[in-house]
Structure formats: C-alpha cells, structure tokens
C-alpha cells in the first residue's frame, strides 16, 4: 500500500539537498546544480528522477563510482560537432556543458551535434532541452543508461531505458517538450514501487524466468519491456547507436549500473542536437507553423472522457507551477531516506509545510 505524500517547500528541499551533496564532497556549484535537478523532477511529478536518487548518488560518490567535480575535457572538436569526455563525473554537469556548447555552435553554424562519453545519469532530460528552446533553438537530448530493458522478443537486459527529449520553441509561449523513456515504465518508478510496496502495471516487466510480472521486486531481478513492443525496442537501439556509439561511450550491455554496484564507473553516453530554425527556412516560417500547430492541436475536438488536449510538457509544467506555489509532494519512503542522510551528515532534518521548526531551511548543521 502506498504511503501518503507530504508537502515540502522547494527552496527547503534544494537547500537541504545541496548541503547533503556538499557534505558528500561536491563543490557548491555542482551540488546546487544536481540538487536543483532532483527537486524539479519531484516538483514535476516525476519522483523516479527526483530525491529518491539522492542516497544513490551519495553512495556512488562514497564508493568512487561518480567522481565529484571531475575534470571534463573536449576530446573532439570539429566545426559544428564536439565530444566531451566527462571523466565519470555527474551527468548533470556533463549535459550542461554539452548543452551550452551545442547552443554556441548552433548560433555559429545554424546547427550542432555534441556528444558526451564517460558520463553518468543526468536526471530528467526536459530542463536541458528547455534551456536552449528558451533561446529559440530546437533541441534534442538522447542518452543511454545501464542495462535494464530487453530488446523486443528477448528476455535479456541488453538495452537501457534510453530516454529521448526534444524541445521546440513556440513564439511567446512555453516550449513544446517531449521527454520519454523507451521502456514501458521508468526504471526509477519500479524502484519507487518496490520501496513503497506497490504493484507495477502489467506489461512493464518480466521476472528472472522471463514471465510477465506486476511485482516490482521481481521486475528488478528480471527485465523491463520496451513501450509499443518492437517500436520502443527499435527506438532504444537507435538511441544506443546515436548517444553511445557515436561519441564512443560504453553500450548499455557493457555498463554496470550504480543501482547494482555504487562503485561502478558507468561510462554512459549522451547526444545533443541543436538546430536554429532560421538556418533552414527562416525563423518566421518556423514560428508561424509552430504557433499554427500548437493552436490547432489544443483547440481540436475532444474525445470522450478527456477534459482537454494537452501538448507535450503541459502536464509537467502545470504540476511544477502548483508545486512551487503549494509544495512538493514526497513519499514517506523518500523522506525517511532524507532523514538518514541528515543524521549521517549532522544536518537538521527537513520539515514538511505546516511545521513550526524552520531551522531546517538552510540545511544547517545540528
């Protein structure tokens, strides 16, 4: 049975998480970057990429898997392309560097392709494509991950959940943002279900014997399934080739995930593609088409049982706005993890909204 979420101020969560990561060995800049990403995932209703992962990151830093403030170097630069060697550091730092370089190159050449190798998990992808979409740049972010998903027809975990995110600027409006894994269900959601004692939906996973299961513990010992059967499988393989093979990263089946061994240096790969719309047809043409499409989709005739037609990213944006106004929901299992980290690093325990103790807000030492 699921526990009841409590509400927390985003600023409190960010300050606390930053303090934890600082205590674990990260610089102030990197700690704040990672903390912001984790808290925003929870704010958007995506706990699989939120603070549920903080203990994992700390354990991996402890064990030497993730290297805090790792030296990152440009291993390849040629025209509108570049490849970053992330030195097994935080994927959040690596993808930020890649995004900024892609934006710079797209401004110079009209389009850019930037790869990353020897990286780790970078969290939720949407904020990274949103950064360049806010500057008027169409942006793709792709990544491979540790092996957890079987190709269609297989029972062997050869592929990652291999996410893809695309951000499209729309003049004067929020960007259209697609952000999805290629698995039927996110790996982190299965971890969360196991922690909270929930079942997972049918069709998400097979157990170790290759039989369908709704037991998250059995799923974690087995394999995840791709969405849409052969369609998700094909897309995951394509992302593997783009995000890992192109920049020279490890393939998913060559990676030991930090969920399995916190000391593993994963060596995952990412790919950023950035396109200035004006380099193809002129900015005005793209802008007109983007506005026309989004207006037409949003105003289309509703199907029975649907209150509105949503554009990609709408639901998460609205949830984030509500969370920043009224509080971020965290499951009890996650707050228990945060309490354990507070004890370990002698930080004041973070308190939910409605409590009178406010000393927790700066993550101060007890």
Looking up residue 336, the CATH number of its domain turns out to be 1.10.1530.10
In 10 A of CB 168, how many CB atoms?
Answer: 22
Tell me how many domains the chain contains: 2
pLDDT tens, 44-67? Answer: 999 999 999 999 999 999 999 999
Residues 150 and 8 both lie in one domain: no
- pLDDT mean for each 10 residues of the chain (366 residues): 75 98 98 98 96 98 98 98 99 99 98 99 97 98 97 95 98 96 90 90 94 95 96 98 99 97 98 97 91 97 96 97 97 95 97 67 50
Residues 115 and 152 both lie in one domain: yes
Burial of residue 8 (number of CB atoms within 10 Å: 0-12, 13-18, 19+): buried
Task: Tell me, yes or no, whether 190 lies in a domain.
Answer: no
Which of 89, 118, 11, 24 lies closest to 62 in space, CA to CA? 24
Residues 23 and 143 both lie in one domain: no
Query: What 8-state DSSP symbol labels residue 45?
Result: T
State residue 195's pLDDT score.
Answer: 85
Residues 169 and 282 both lie in one domain: yes
Task: Tell me, yes or no, whether 330 lies in a domain.
Answer: yes
Residues 235 and 327 both lie in one domain: no
Range of the domain at 50: 1-63+313-355
Q: What is the token pair recorded at 67?
A: 């290297």
Q: How many CA atoms lie within 13 A of 31 on its CB side?
A: 19
Q: What are phi and psi of 135, to 5 degrees?
A: -100, 10
State residue 311's pLDDT score.
Answer: 97
Query: Which value, to the nearest 10 degrees, does the dihedral of the CA atoms of residues 105, 35, 189, 302 take?
Result: -60
pLDDT tens, 279-326? Answer: 998 779 999 999 999 999 999 999 999 999 999 999 999 999 999 999
Q: In 3-state terms, what secondary structure has residue 314?
A: helix
Which of 213, 176, 157, 187 lies closest to 313 in space, CA to CA? 176
Say which CATH number the domain at 85 has.
3.30.1370.60
Which residue bears the tokens 């192109």? 246
Task: Tell me, yes or no, whether 106 lies in a domain.
Answer: yes
Residues 93 and 239 both lie in one domain: yes
């Amino acid at each position: 049975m699921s526990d009841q979420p409590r509400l927390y101020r985003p600023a409190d969560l960010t300050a606390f998480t930053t303090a934890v990561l600082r205590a674990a060995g990260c610089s102030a800049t990197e700690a704040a970057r990672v903390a912001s990403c984790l808290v925003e995932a929870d704010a958007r209703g995506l706990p699989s990429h939120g603070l549920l992962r903080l203990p994992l990151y700390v354990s991996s830093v402890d064990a030497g898997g993730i290297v805090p403030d790792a030296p990152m170097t440009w291993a390849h630069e040629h025209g509108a392309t570049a490849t970053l060697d992330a030195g097994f550091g935080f994927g959040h730092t690596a993808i930020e560097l890649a995004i900024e370089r892609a934006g710079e190159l797209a401004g110079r050449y009209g389009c850019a392709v930037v790869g990353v190798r020897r990286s780790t998990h970078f969290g939720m992808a949407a904020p990274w494509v949103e950064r360049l979409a806010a500057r008027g740049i169409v942006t793709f972010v792709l990544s491979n991950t540790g092996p957890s998903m079987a190709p269609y027809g297989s029972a062997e975990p050869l592929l990652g959940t291999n996410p893809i995110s695309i951000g499209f600027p729309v003049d004067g409006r929020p960007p259209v943002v697609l952000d999805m894994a290629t698995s039927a269900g996110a790996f982190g959601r299965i971890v969360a279900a196991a922690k909270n004692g929930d079942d997972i939906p049918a069709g998400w996973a097979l157990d170790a014997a290759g039989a369908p299961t709704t037991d998250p513990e059995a799923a974690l010992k087995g394999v995840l399934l791709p969405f849409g059967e052969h369609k998700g499988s094909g897309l995951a393989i394509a992302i593997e080739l783009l995000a890992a093979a192109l920049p020279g990263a490890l393939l998913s089946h060559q990676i030991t995930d930090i969920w399995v061994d916190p000391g593993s240096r994963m060596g995952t790969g990412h790919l950023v593609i950035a396109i200035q719309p004006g380099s193809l047809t002129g900015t005005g043409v793209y802008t007109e088409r983007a506005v026309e499409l989004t207006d037409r989709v949003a105003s289309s005739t509703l199907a029975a049982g649907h209150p509105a037609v949503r554009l990609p990213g709408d639901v998460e944006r609205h949830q984030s706005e509500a969370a920043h106004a009224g509080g971020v929901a965290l499951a009890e299992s996650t707050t228990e993890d945060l309490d354990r980290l507070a004890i370990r690093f002698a930080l004041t325990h973070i308190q939910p909204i409605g409590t009178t103790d406010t000393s927790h807000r700066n993550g101060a030492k007890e």
